[in-house]
Structure 1
Amino acid sequence: MSEVLDNLRYSEEHEWAQQGEGRVVRVGITDHAQHLLGDIVFVEFPEVGAAVSAGDSVGSIESVKTVSELYSPVSGKVTRINDALEASPELLNDEPYSGGWIFELELDGEYSEAVAGLLDAAAYRELIGE
């Protein structure tokens, strides 16, 4: 059974969004996604400074099984990537909601508006059948 945190918002592509300070949002992949991917060996990050729209492909995640696209669940400007994943991509498997975050961005608007189209924890649990 996959862990789903109540304080996050989720995309149907299995990314999560967490509100930070101000208009900053931290993004990663869900526990469910990392289970499907298997052992993760490489992360291709979005470029810091890039403007992205919700649903844009912004990178990829490579596992021993496959390569999966990474999508931005919200719109904004990428402000930071998780450098720790360059040396230790397995953090995505070990800590998908903490040390395994992938990037941060500054929203174009308010958090509540930006995540309006995302799933809450209950809806995400339903999506993944849990």
Structure 2
Amino acid sequence: MSLYYTEDHEWIQVDGDVAIVGITKHAQDALGDVVFVELPDVGKTFEQKEVAGVVESVKAAADVYMPVTGEVTEVNEALRDDPSLANSDPMGAGWFFKVRMSKADELAALMDEAAYTKLTDAA
């Protein structure tokens, strides 16, 4: 499995043509306590960088962008029921949705962990 990051602070873990998407620890730290998530509908197709969801905290609301073009195959119902999972485990149990990628070559435009760390350290 490969892990990538976007400039908008989403992470995407790729396993074959299916990937899991969530927000990074950096995004979670910036948002504060997450109180609501809006997840996409299963079966809906999104283009890369299209808004696929929303995360709201006590401080702000932020869009969740689709890291790669594809179809949503599953959403994290546990996160919908308990948005605080995005705080306690943003890179694990706090995942947002799974997507079947239709343009895997778009992964080349994303960052690896070293590049993402450099981006967030500079912020």
Task: Indicate whether the TM-score tops 0.5.
Answer: yes
For 2:80 and 2:72, locate their aligned partners in 1 and report how far apart those are by CA, in whole Å.
17
Per-residue Cα deviation, 1:60-81 (whole angstroms, up to 9, x for no partner): 0000011101101111000100
SS at match of 2:72: strand
Amino acid at match of 1:30: T
**Gaps (5+ residues) in structure 1?**
1-6
Whether 1:9 aligns to 2:1 is no
TM-score (norm 2): 0.94
1:58 matched to which residue of 2? 52
1:115 matched to which residue of 2? 107
1:101 matched to which residue of 2? 95
TM-score (norm 1): 0.89
Structure 1 residue ranges (4+ consecutive) displaced by more than 2 angstroms after TM superposition: none
Amino acid at match of 1:119: M
Higher helix share: 2
SS at match of 2:30: helix
Instruction: Give how far 1:109 is off.
Output: 3.6
Q: What percent identity do the matched residue pairs reach?
A: 45
Higher strand share: 2
**Gaps (5+ residues) in structure 2?**
none
For 1:121 and 1:106, locate their aligned partners in 2 and report how far apart those are by CA, in whole Å.
22
